[in-house]
Amino acid sequence: GTIIHRHRIPLPPPNDDQFYTVGHFNICQEIVFYSKTFMIVDCDLFTKNFLQKMGVKLNPPGCIPEDPYTSKREEMEKNMQPLRPYEKIDKLKQFLEHDTHVLRFYCYWDDSESLFGGFRELILHYFLADDTIEIREVLKPNSGRDAVVFLHRGKLPKHVPDRLYHPGEITDRTILNTTAPSTHDSRYVFDSLKTGSVYQEFYKDCDLMIGTVINAWGRKIVLCDCDEFTKEYYRNKYGVVDFTPVKYKSKSTTTFEREIPPYNGFGSEEDSFNSTLGLVPKAPQRNIIKFMEKDRQGLESNVLRFSARLITDDPINSERKFVISYFLSDDTIAVFEPPVPNSGIPGGKFLERMKMKIPGQELFKSEPSKYYTQQDLFIGARLCLFGNYFCLVDADEYTFNYMEKNADEYQKANICTILTKLKTTGETHSLEIKRMLSAHDPQRTGIINYDDFRNIVIQIGEGLLTEHEIMTIGRYYSIREQQKTDICLILHVVQEALRKATFEDFTKISEAFMYEDRQRTGFLPVQESRNILKGFQLPIPNDILDEMISNFLGANGQVAYRNLILGMNWRENPVPHVDIKHPLEVNKAGSGEFPVKKVASINYIAFIEDLFGKQE
């Protein structure tokens, strides 16, 4: 250990007021540290070079005197060693260095000459941890062979022995019995010359190369190729650079394609198809990933709702309205008929939610049937659902926004695709189209009515555009004016609804708003305010609730919730009676009418610039 810690050491008396410096040190020179004398025998190369650069002349190195105690201990340990020591067999180092390192070779064994033999494709694994070999067979489907190990893991001898050795006959060390085996005082010694050992030569990693033929217990196995790890191992250890694989082909076997039996009419087609895949029928699996992505998440319904009418000559049925809902989570369709008072038709569920087949397909066939997809539903499309022909005439705002947001999936709502289609037909009549649009704008405001714009686009498209594509153009270039509703009228309707429902928990609403407003600013975001009010299950339609919240927005775009609660409190702040000349348009649930933001005016100047380029 450390005898003296690092510090400045003083010189021995009478010069103890000074300290040792570099000049006091030299080879074969005695130094005194605190009354203890030390002899410097030698120094390292750096110290020699440093002292020589300083001009110090170094003495020749000395030797350390022999220690009698250390010599005696070494002689005792030497006498304790056996006269003929046996060799050490250390396998731990190889295991620690090459554990989980396996060389993989692709090989084959051609046994086609023997009776019932064949061409076997094999994979040879060489374990570097203990130099053992394992061979597995590559089985093709329906090959008729059992999935067993071709050769279990173990050391593979190069030459097949003449006989099988008895257990214990092959060992790492041999033992000699120096006395009679019957006595209890038997003595055994290790045979260092290994006179009775059995010599066997096993395959090593250096014996395995591409193109080499190895003898696996009498079977000639040809190594054809190896994996990337094996190539890198031989490249680094043995310097092998040529890894050209040996080309081989197994004998061609007759392949049979699976014939799917036709649908028998029992259950669904998917269920009947799954019964042919195995002896134990299993229920068809739904697409769980699509279900998790497209299932309802909060206010995101992932349901496309269309308004439809029956295509029929019957005047009564032609006036019936239907709501067709397409569920994106599992591609199912449901049809609902809103009840109409005094119509003689009860309304309600018209078709159960299920996948709808496209008509005109054979019933009993082997191929899977085709179903309506989300791309088949758009404004103007015609659907045949169990013999009922529907025409889609409208959609709700969520459906329009979803299709326009995912325009890559819905070509009918892709404005770029629609304009490209119009350019191909209207390029030659560009001047005529500009005159037609300008004719409906006598005051040159750049804005025309939607109905006039629709008629002109139909003429431009020459029948190639569907109604949904025309509506997409109108929505893209529309100028929407949102009419402000009287705040007194809205509060009157809200207070009447709350009064009839005897709702008086305004204190709890205020506490909920204040809990979310941690900074006590008196303002909260619109969506957060809407969620708080919806949590109290107020008997207010969503349209009126959104309109009321929009009238209490501050300069920062957030809701002043204190004024909002005061306006809703019909007990303390009743709103005077208001004469309702124009009732609020509220979307009733299940009415078949969707609250679409109406398109009234079209900016045709922007439409012309995108279609024919910017005007000069």
DSSP string, 479-532: E--PPPPPHHHHHHHHHHHHHHTT--THHHHHHHHHHH-TT--SEE-HHHHHHH
The model's pLDDT over 541-590, given as tens digits with 9 standing for 90+, comes to 887 888 889 888 888 889 999 999 999 998 888 888 766 554 555 444 44
The residues, any chain, with a CB within 8 Å of residue 341's CB and separated by 6 or more, are: none
Regarding pTM above 0.85, the answer is no
Q: What angle do CA 305, 309, 310 make, to 5 degrees?
A: 130
Task: Give the pLDDT confidence score for residue 127 in this predicted structure.
Answer: 95
Helix (H) or strand (E) holding 233: helix 228-237
- CA-nearest of 381, 398, 399 to 390 is 381
The model's pLDDT over 90-116, given as tens digits with 9 standing for 90+, comes to 788 899 999 999 999 999 998 888 888
Task: Give the pLDDT confidence score for residue 591 in this predicted structure.
Answer: 47
First to last CA, the chain: 95
Domain ranges of the chain: 1-81, 92-237, 288-395, 487-568
Distances in whole angstroms, Cα of residue 274 to Cα of each of 264, 361, 501: 13, 21, 54
* Residues of the chain falling short of pLDDT 70: 81-88, 177-188, 192, 196, 249-255, 298-299, 426-429, 480-485, 578-598, 614-616
Tell how strand 388-395 and strand 303-310 pair up: antiparallel
The CATH number given to 1-81 is: 2.30.29.170
Task: Give the pLDDT confidence score for residue 181 in this predicted structure.
Answer: 58
> With contact defined as beta carbons under 8 Å apart, do 142 and 121 qualify?
no
Task: Give the pLDDT confidence score for residue 610 in this predicted structure.
Answer: 82
> With contact defined as beta carbons under 8 Å apart, do 452 and 436 qualify?
no
The residue type of 313 is: D
Buried b (16+ CB within 10 A) or exposed e, 65-97: eeeeeeeeeeeeeeeeeeeeeeeeeeeeeeeee
State the Cα–Cα distance between residues 407 and 455, nearest whole angstrom. 24
State the Cα–Cα distance between residues 470 and 479, nearest whole angstrom. 16
At the top level of CATH, which class does the domain 288-395 belong to?
mainly beta
State the Cα–Cα distance between residues 526 and 529, nearest whole angstrom. 5
Helix (H) or strand (E) holding 474: helix 467-476
> With contact defined as beta carbons under 8 Å apart, do 564 and 536 qualify?
no
Asked, colleague to colleague, whether 288-395 and 487-568 share their fold, the answer is no
Q: How many CB atoms lie within 10 A of CB 381?
A: 19
Q: How many residues does the chain have?
A: 616
487-568 maps to CATH 1.10.238.10: yes
- CA-nearest of 217, 219, 232 to 154 is 217
Task: Give the pLDDT confidence score for residue 590 in this predicted structure.
Answer: 44
* DSSP summary character for residue 12: S
Task: Give the pLDDT confidence score for residue 584 in this predicted structure.
Answer: 53
Multiple choice CATH, 92-237, 3.10.20.30, 3.40.50.10170, 2.30.29.170, 1.10.287.1080: 2.30.29.170
The residues, any chain, with a CB within 8 Å of residue 543's CB and separated by 6 or more, are: 584, 585, 586, 587, 595
Tokens representing 106 are 């692709």
The count of C-alpha atoms lying within 13 angstroms of the C-alpha of 281, restricted to the half-sphere facing its C-beta, is 10
- The residue written with tokens 């080879």 in the block is 27
Tokens representing 91 are 């396998």
Q: List for the chain the helix, strand, coil content (%; round to 5).
A: 30, 20, 50
Task: Give the pLDDT confidence score for residue 37 in this predicted structure.
Answer: 93
Distances in whole angstroms, Cα of residue 89 to Cα of each of 93, 172, 173, 196: 11, 8, 10, 18
